[in-house]
Amino acid sequence: MLYTLRSLLALCTLLFAWAAVAPSVHAADGEAEWIWSPSQKRNEIPVGSCFFRKSFDVNNAEAAEIHLTADNEFELFVNGQQVAKGTDWRQLQVHEITELLQPGRNTIAIRVDNKDAGAAGLAARVIVKQVGDTFEGFSTDKSWKTSVREFENWTAPQFNDKDWVAAVSYGEMGDALPWGNEIVIEGVGARFAVDKEFEVERIMRDDEVGSLIAMTFDSRGNIFASQEGGHLMLLTDNDGNGIHDKATTYCDKIQNAQGLLAIGLRLFVVGDGPEGMGLYRLRDADRNDEADEVVKLLSFKGSKGEHGAHGLRLGPDGLIYVIVGNFTRADGTPTSRSPYRLWYEGDLILPKYEDPGGHAVGIPSPGGTIFRTDANGSFVEYIAGGLRNAYDMAFDLDGELFTYDADMEWDRGAPWYRPTRVNHVPAGAEMGWRSGWSKWPEYYLDSLPAAANIGPGSPTGIEFYDHYAYPAKYQGAMFACDWATGKIHAITFKRDGASYIGEDEIFLEGRPLNATDCAVGPDGSLYFCTGGRGTDGGVYRVRCNVPVGPEVTDMGEGIERALRQPQIDADWARAKAAGVRQALGDKWESELIAVATDPDRIVRERARAIDLLVYFGPRPNDQLLKNLATDVEPAIRAKAARLMYISDDAGVRTALTKLLQDSDPLVRRCACESLMRRGAMPAAADILPLLGDDDRFTAFAARRVIEQLPVESWSAAVMKETKPQAFCVGATALVNVERKPAVSLAVIDKSLQLLAAEPITELDRVNLLRVIEVAMFHGKLDAAKATQIAAPILAMYPTNEPAANRELVRLLTFLQVEGAADKFAAELAKADIPVEEKLHVAAYAARLQKGWNTAAKLELLKFYEQARTVKGGYSVDKYVEHFTRDYLKNLTMAERQHLIAGGDKWPASALSTLASLPENPGAEVLATVRDLDSRIAPKCAESDLYRRLRVGVIAVLGANNDADSQEYLRTIYRDEPEYRGPVAMSLSQHPGGENWKVLVESLKSVDGPMAQEVLGALTRVNQRPADAAPFRDAILLGLKLGNNGGADAAKLLSHWSGQAGTDMAGWQRWYATKFPNAPAAELPSDAGRDKWSYEELLTFLNSEQGKQGDAERGSRVFAQAQCASCHRVGTSGETMGPDLTAVARRFQRKEILESIVYPSHVISDQYAARIVTAGGKSYSGLVSQQANGSVTVLQSNGQKAELNGNEVDDIQPSDVSAMPTGLLNPLTLEQVADLFAYLGAASSNDVASRGSSTK
């Protein structure tokens, strides 16, 4: 089976890993980095110990500290003296070491024991201040030395660690995974940074509650908390001291609840329950602190993970609001009067570019949503959509809904990237999230903008603060948790027409601060819980230590207590207000009405009176609503407008309609939302004027109303509209409702007329272009059906407005307009255009198939080459790769061949061009590919870009069963050992014929995914080896691969032997029986006697330092290490052992190193050791029979024993190599590098054919 070319090229990163060293991440100056031995693979560290040293000079230490932690356990020494031990990596120990330092050389030595296979690391800050000097840092980084061997006196300053290898860095403490920001300073409260008037207290620990993902207070001030992957817990204050100290299971039938809402004796929960994922109602009828009733109200379809259903809130209308992530949807038909309806994708150019990493691919609109329902879950009414993955929502004091939505951090730097954003979400809101590159920009008139853009992060819980315990600036602020950056934001809002603008400040920071949810408690403190993704859990309280005066805390008596009750949206607060209602009895309603209508009362108290009537009844009557609708205060009129939907009274409906003409845009917007919710709809004439409202949110709400009216009652008026703003909003509604080609064409014609009018504002131009796009989308029009658009759109581009240019680029590409290519190229050539805008052009240019001349093509390809170097999120360069590949499909084969030929100048474009080739590009193109390889081969040492290109070349040549290309690859395999892995993988596409022997031979050296491909390919060939070696190589490879490919080795062994078996141990027994005289099929073991492990040496040799050896010095090392006593290089040395003159042309570095470290693992028959018995003595080594009958034995110590033939009693084979172990122990690392440089230099001038073994 042939692999597709694209699949092969997608594996390039894996293919060239054969010689790559794991990347070392260097942190910013000063902060400690997680480090480990480079000889062990990250996150696959075996059980065992690793030793670390850092030496530095001190004259006169005034102060010195070390802060350290290690995964799993550590032992710290300073100048040979044991200082401390640690067993919990989450605790950063702090030790004062001033008295242990001495003038001159000092050494920090640390032993770390990894108790469980997997992740391991050390992070330590070493801070020293010398007398009269500033602080110096010697924290863990790549300058620390490490060994996996324990040497005598290794903790002492005088120990020579020159031959220890440099550590590898996994990244800065606080950022590097899997530890993240979970480390806290042991016994120190400085984990959090907060203003001095606040203090943070931990009231529940991880071992008490586990990782928590949601919390809320109940009516008694207890905390309901949800465990990640676990049950619902109840946290209570057992001793009455005001601090929660007892955790019990409240319900074990619900797991992983991400939304909690307490209302009296009921707890509403979004979680995984007895009937699957859903909205459940729990009840503790007998008040024993355990749920005894679990009722499912609603189901969800889709994911139940991090992008599933989330938070719950009680709305100011008394309904339950649910927020849902973009991978999930409420399972039910939304009501016909849902404010959010008729959603659409909006993409003109299809197929869209989805995230190259696969995230959210195929997730349709509307993405994340908010809906409301009642306490029985009897309906689903969509409120808003187009969210990404907002975890929580909250209502402010005025009853306005807000969310804190997530970004797609992989898109940072792309024109479609949207940061984490605080959204004001009125009824019917479209927030514009779409998957891939299709996210709507904020300026689209058919969506709403953010109230505040925050930046990269991972939003979790939010809460509005309505208590007097905090300073005034926080009263009314929204607290918002950011899990990823370890912050809690305080966002204050200022009204801006019918919406709000948010201003952000950091309220609290922590290392770590993995806050998942927050809530305000009865004491007025902000409580938050931590956890998520298996991180440290707990519950914390942020208490203000500034006393509050009695003038603030005095709640008054009677109805005043309910009016002044803080945090009324909390269940504990509602319980107190309910107590006031009960005490007042019949006076409750009349006193609240009196407050609500009293113009001398402050607006806050009047609005609170209305809210109390909604929450506790009786709801405001019709007369009260009509009176409030004429109040002098806009906030009161808006409050009335929100509630008037419930009444069918003609007078109330008339008053509500009249509010559409209110002087305040907030009131007008609220009136629209109330009218669309239920009851008799207004006349179109009442709504049409609002389509041109100066306030964007009001106009948007008017559009939502008019979409519910009979289209014939308003369509003609929209088409006659001459003001661009009103026309654009109305036309958007018209095409969205009608979705007919004729209507869309009429709207487009009118839009073009308005675009041609002068003067025109920037906003109007952008809106009209968007209307054209939406009309084409809903009318399903293409260029042939809308020929009138091309010429004016082309003439308009480019403008001085980036937003208009973006929409013109979309339209020109969709319409495939001749002349657009030249203009795109000209824009890309300009130096003063931001990279994001150029990337937008280049993204769409990939889909423009007309009008490209050679100059324009080269300009676009030049930008694609440059764009790969632009700093951005994880997916940005991969998007660019996709754009490039798609564009290259438009090139002729001759143009592609030209690009390939220039690959030494444009390596990235050449690689993309290779991916665009058909399966059989022809002999001439393949010859060009081979020629390119010969030119870039020397450049591969310069950069990974050329290495990736060469691997792409190898993939292309292997995909074609062309005799010249296949032979060319076999030549690379023979002459360039370091490329054997990718060549073998490429040849595995055609594993028969001459390639079969090469693939069998490659079993000695391939690993990882390459090994799996080779094993699978050999299984498809009806050919089997006869001797033992290939079977042994397959078994050894299977043992190395383990769970990641061992089964593939077993399948090949079954194919070759005709025997069944999946267990490598079983195949080892089979092999021992089948080939009793062959070398054992066992992996070499590390006895721990050598100075370095094999892995340490291999990592060093593959590092930059290891590649800087000197061949001339290496020739002396060759003799010093006794190599010359057996081996010859050129004309130097003995010939008893294999000639090493061409060894680097025959074997990979790792194979040569393995032969030195494990000399008995593979022994050639030609150079197998013998045991000679003569005169009662035994001699072991390489045996040479001389012409005169005498026998020469070259022993492992380099000495020769000359024996007369008649003295020899017996000669027997030995399974121990004559080559001694530990040959490298006397050397330094620098000498090891020199030795390998010498062997490589000797091979570079040698053209001898490949031999069979180094032994």
AA identity, residue 844: Y
Distance CA 438, CA 365 (A): 10
Predicted local confidence at residue 1182, as pLDDT: 67
- If one counts every other C-beta atom within 10 angstroms of the C-beta of residue 1044, the result is 13
Instruction: Give the burial class of 659: count Cβ atoms within 10 A of its Cβ; 0-12 exposed, 13-18 middle, 19 or more buried.
Output: buried
Q: Is 1147 exposed, middle or buried (0-12, 13-18, 19+ CB in 10 A)?
A: buried
pLDDT in tens, 737-770: 999 999 999 999 999 999 999 899 999 999 999 9
Residue-wise pLDDT for 1083-1131, tens only, equals 887 777 788 887 888 888 888 888 888 888 888 888 776 676 667 676 6
903 and 946 in contact (C-beta within 8 Å)?
A: no
CB-count burial class (<10 Å; 0-12, 13-18, 19+) for 740: middle
DSSP 1243: H
Rounded mean pLDDT of 60-66?
Answer: 87
Beta-carbon contacts of residue 87 (< 8 Å; ≥ 6 apart): 72, 73
Whether the upstream peptide bond of residue 620 has omega within 30° of 0, thus cis, is no
Tens of pLDDT, residue by residue over 886-944, are 999 888 899 999 999 999 988 988 999 998 898 889 999 999 999 999 999 999 877 88
Length of the chain in terms of residues written: 1255
CA distance 547 to 541: 17
CA distance 344 to 374: 27
Candidates 1216, 1207, 1209; CA nearest to 1080 is: 1216
3-state secondary structure of 364: coil
CB atoms within 10 A of CB 494: 9
Mean predicted lDDT score pLDDT of the chain:
89
All domains in the chain, ordered by first residue: 26-175 (2.60.120.260), 212-521 (2.120.10.30), 553-609 (no CATH), 620-709 (1.25.10.10), 1094-1244 (2.30.30.100)
Confidence (pLDDT) at 1105 = 80
The 10 Å Cβ neighbour count of residue 877 is: 17
Peptide bond between residue 759 and the one before it cis (omega within 30 degrees of 0): yes
Q: How do residues 870-886 score in pLDDT, each as one tens digit?
A: 888 889 999 999 999 99
For residue 941, the model assigns a pLDDT of 79
Closest to 875 (Cα-Cα) out of 407, 453, 422: 407
Q: Is the pLDDT of residue 997 over 90?
A: yes
Structure token pair of residue 887: 């564009």
> What confidence category does residue 1211 fall into, taking pLDDT thresholds of 50, 70 and 90?
confident
Q: Nearest 5 degrees, angle CA 723-CA 728-CA 731?
A: 115
Which is nearest to 372 in space by CA: 344, 393, 356, 357? 393
Please name the helix (run of DSSP H) or strand (run of DSSP E) that holds residue 123, with its range, or none. strand 121-130
Q: Provide the H-helix boundaries in 1185-1245.
A: 1229-1244
- The radius of gyration of the chain from alpha carbons, rounded to an integer in Å, stands at 37
Place of tokens 């393949």: 926
- Classify 317 as helix, strand or coil: coil
Q: Could you report the per-residue pLDDT of 686-739, keeping only the tens digit for each?
A: 999 999 999 999 999 999 999 999 999 999 999 999 999 999 999 999 999 999
Segment 982-999 mean pLDDT: 95
The answer to whether 1233 and 1107 are in contact (CB under 8 A) is yes
Contacts of 977 (CB under 8 A, 6+ apart): 1005, 1144, 1145, 1146, 1147, 1148, 1149, 1151
What is the Cα–Cα distance from 377 to 784, expressed in whole angstroms? 49
CB 377 within 8 Å of CB 423? no
1116 vs 777: CA distance, rounded Å: 76
333-370 residue pLDDT tens? 999 999 999 999 999 999 999 999 999 999 999 999 99
3-state secondary structure 491-559: EEEEEECCEEEEEEEEEEEECCCCEEEEEECCCCCEEEEECCCCCCCEEEEEEECCCCCHHHHCCCCCH
- Render pLDDT for 458-498 as a digit per residue (tens, 0 to 9): 999 999 999 999 999 999 999 999 998 889 999 999 999 99
Confidence of residue 1133 (pLDDT cuts 50, 70, 90): low
Dihedral sign of CA atoms 1246, 1249, 1253, 1255 in order? negative
Compute the average pLDDT of residues 80-98. Answer: 90
Quick one: DSSP state of residue 827?
H
The distance between the two most distant Cα atoms of the chain, rounded to a whole number of Å, is: 130
Q: Where are the alpha helices (DSSP H) in 851-922?
A: 854-867, 876-888, 893-901, 907-916
**Tokens linked to 901:** 């030929």
H helix count then E strand count, the chain: 40, 47
Q: What is the pLDDT of residues 1134-1192, one digit of tens each?
A: 655 666 666 666 677 777 777 777 776 665 555 566 777 777 777 777 677 777 778 77
